Chain A
Amino acid sequence: MGNIIDSKNAISTTMALIAIIIIAAIAGGVGYYGGNLSGYSAGYEAGSRGAYQQGFQAGLQQGNSSGYSKGYQAALEKAKPILPDVIKIGQIQSLSGGLGPFGTKIAKGAQLAVDEVNARGGIRGRRIQLITEDDATDPTRALEVAKKLVEVDGVQVIIGTTGSAQLRAIAPYLIEKKVLIISPSVSGPFLSTDYPNSYVMRTCASDVLQGAVMGDLVLQRGYKRVAYLIMDNAYGRGICAEVKKKVGEGVVTIFFDEKKLNYKTELEQVKAANPDVVVHVGYPEDATVMFKQALEAGLEKVQWISAEGVYGTAMFPPEGDPAAAEFMSIAVIGTAPTTPGGILYEEFARRYTEAFGMEPMVYCDTCYDATMLAIQAIAYCGEYNGTKIRDAVLTIARNYIGPSGHKIFQPNGVDMMYSYYIIWDVEEVSPGKYEFKEIGRWP
């Protein structure tokens, strides 16, 4: 009697096991899936019913209360202005770099305005916080700090910048974000031509005028051979273009690199052109080297007319270089924007000196006025919103007379209606001690 199951026909144990496993898996999968499906739809049903009920109840409640509170808020809005508890005013000035000596003093003008208003209770009882950032006289850095002020600190109005290049770099961004910026010192003509009736304003005069003043000076004194020695940036080129409109192309035009700090070649070119006047635009740092080397080159025999970039006591010892100061006292006169003067400015100068232990310089007063305009505009419109503040500034400015004069704006919404300039000279009042002297006014 043999095995009924022939080993050849039998399924091996392994095969059997495998088959069992596969069948089990399939069964499990079907069960799972099926279970899911049915479970899903059952759950769905139960859920919807429950959710529906709950939603209905909740909606009933919400509707009542939200309607009530919305109405309440709307009424409040009509009745009282919405200002944050702390009102932030941003400031971007050049506290270091080429314009550092100017920016640090100008920034204090804004500080004075904020401190004075806070001492009197702030805006509608709310404290003002002045957030000052340093752009290091660098357009890239200016954009970085502008973004920080707008996006991190949430400011809607900024006072600044010190220099034209920096403002040019951040203007498109601020306009896009609808944040108002008022500059106390940017004089580049591009502001009026590129951004009229926008979010960019200034409380100082445009170089369109300073160029005209320098040009008038050249014509008045009868100089025929004009050399232009201009720093190669927006500020310098702006002024140069305006002077040329009055005076003409001159015998030589040189745009120098403010970072180079060694100008013997440029000065040789000026000498070679044999001018009787040099129209010069520079900042204190490059001008120190320029004047020093001009003295070496024998160019103090020619009259120099400088723009207000060098109008600062930082050019004189003990902060500045004695050779540069000597050169200025021999050969340089210049122009600078000024105030109509009078008691308002004298009072401001007294308060500034008292607060900071130093006398104000050019643009400190316009910075004070720019900040005051912003503060008064916020108080007037009662809202912390760039567009509303901008509109309010235009209104307030019509009746605002500050240390830098009557701040009423031109129709382009950028420039001041009234601007004043002085003609300055440098005098050595005692050996090693230099001072600026006013020798004329314009208009």
Chain B
Amino acid sequence: MVNLAQVLFESLVSGSLYLLASVGLSITYGLSKFPNFAHAEFITFGAYIAYFFLVQIKAPAFISFALAFLVSGILGALSYVLLFAPLSKRGSSTIQLMIASIGLGLILRHTCMEIWGGGILSFKIFFPIYRWPPISTSLIWLLIVLDAAITAVILHLFLKKSRLGKAMRATSDNPNLAMASGINVELITVLGWFLSGALAGLGGAFLAAGTALVPLLGWKVLLSAFAVTILGGTGSFYGSIIASYIIGAAENLGIVGLVALNLSADYRTAISFIILIVLLIFRPQGLFKQAGRGD
């Protein structure tokens, strides 16, 4: 009765979406050592930028999404340079940075609402639908899966093979040692924040294109993204990749279970958190350890 193939495909889609959303979160957590709640607004902001170029300026889709990536990345970098860096230089604690990020998120969200209104916006693109029985899906979801795969590969190569990537892993691992080794820790951190914002923004743009754009778009994803980050081990890039798909599968398969038990499908986020809690009880460091040691 249940279309298992479709459910597994949806798990793939959810996992890819969470990957785009949570890799960035993991990077900034590893580099700056605090959970960035404004990440939800990075996601939403990217969607608004894509909307602006695509629907209001009528630029081609590819350009709009590329710009969403870039502008969100700049937003991420600026958040660090203008807010979090000065605060942490003044000796702010983790809690203080966390609260600052919540404040930043509020400002960003309401600025977007001022500019574009608080209502729901549609991208108005008619994505072609593909039917490969038993699976049916639309182009946008395939693009998300593709994008996540490409992101994972590029990031892997970047972190493993390039100097800059290795420097980033080193900084995340042990900032003092990295600095002593002559790595420009500040520049690496800005780069990390840029990447975080950019990936989040791109993911948000895709999600909004596939569903609809609302100011709380990022929050719908953020809760699960946090679950992914913690599950994967904060700061561990590979951990968050694997955790994304685990959580994606758990939510979608869990829905099947929920329906069988006659419960509302709205409990899907609860599933990821139950898994998270259970795992943290038995393995508090997450699936993988800190970045650098988890590969």
On chain A, the residues within 8 Å of B268 by CB distance are 265
Q: How large is the interface on A (under 10, 10 to 19, 20 to 34, 35 or more residues)?
A: 20 to 34
Residues of B within 8 A of A285 (CB): 119-120, 212
Name which of B220, B255, B259, B268 has the most chain A CB atoms within 10 A of its CB: B259
Min distance, Cβ B68 to any Cβ of chain A, angstroms: 19
Q: Say yes or no for B115: interface residue by CB 8 A criterion.
A: no
B119-146 interface with A by 8 A CB criterion: 119-120, 122-127, 129, 131, 136-138, 141
Per the CB 8 Å criterion, the residue count for chain B at the interface is 33
One digit per residue, 1 when the CB lies within 8 angstroms of any chain B CB and 0 when it does not, for chain A 247-272 equals: 00000001101011110111011011
9-residue interface stretch from A25-33, A161-169, A317-325: A317-325
* Nearest CB on A from B268, distance (A): 7
Q: Taking each of B10, B214, B266, which has the highest tally of chain A beta carbons within 10 Å of its own beta carbon?
A: B266
Prevailing SS type, chain A contact patch: helix
Indicate if the CB atoms of B136 and A269 lie closer than 8 Å: no
Is the pair A97, B7 in contact by a Cβ cutoff of 8 Å?
no
A322 pairs with B126, CB closer than 8 A = yes
Residue B3 interfacial (CB < 8 Å): yes
Whether the Cβ atoms of A265 and B255 lie closer than 8 Å is yes
A272 vs B260: C-alpha distance in the bound complex, in angstroms? 12
Contact A261 B211 (CB under 8 A): yes
B-chain residues with CB within 8 Å of residue A355 when the two chains form the complex: none
Contact mask for chain A residues 11-46; partner B; CB cutoff 8 A; 1 contact, 0 none: 000000000000000000000000000000000000
**Contact B124 A317, beta carbon cutoff 8 Å:** yes
Q: Mark A270-308, 1 if CB is under 8 A from B, else 0.
A: 011000000000000100110011011110000000000
Interface residues of B in 2-37 (CB under 8 A from A): 2-3, 6-7, 10
Counting CB contacts under 8 A, is B265 at the interface? yes
**Which residue on A lies nearest to B140, using beta carbons?**
A296
Residues of B within 8 A of A269 (CB): 259, 265
Closest B residue by C-beta to A97: B119
Q: In the complex where A268-B6, A272-B2, A288-B212 touch, is A261 in contact with B120 (Cβ < 8 A)?
A: yes
Are A261 and B214 CB-contacts (below 8 A) given A269-B259, A272-B1? yes
B265 touching A96 by the CB < 8 A rule?
no
Contact B124 A296 (CB under 8 A): no
Check B118–A262 contact: CB distance below 8 A: no
Given A259-B214, A269-B259, A317-B124, 13 more contacts at CB 8 Å?
A255-B264, A261-B120, A261-B211, A261-B214, A265-B10, A271-B3, A272-B1, A285-B120, A285-B212, A288-B120, A296-B136, A296-B138, A323-B126
Residues of chain A whose beta carbon lies under 8 Å from any beta carbon of chain B: 96-97, 100, 254-255, 257, 259-262, 264-266, 268-269, 271-272, 285, 288-289, 292-293, 295-298, 317, 320-323, 326
> What 9 A-B pairs come out closest when comparing CB atoms?
A321-B122, A296-B138, A322-B126, A285-B120, A265-B265, A298-B136, A262-B211, A261-B212, A323-B126
13 contacts between A and B (CB under 8 A): A96-B118, A260-B220, A264-B10, A265-B10, A269-B259, A285-B119, A285-B120, A289-B212, A296-B137, A297-B136, A320-B122, A320-B124, A321-B122
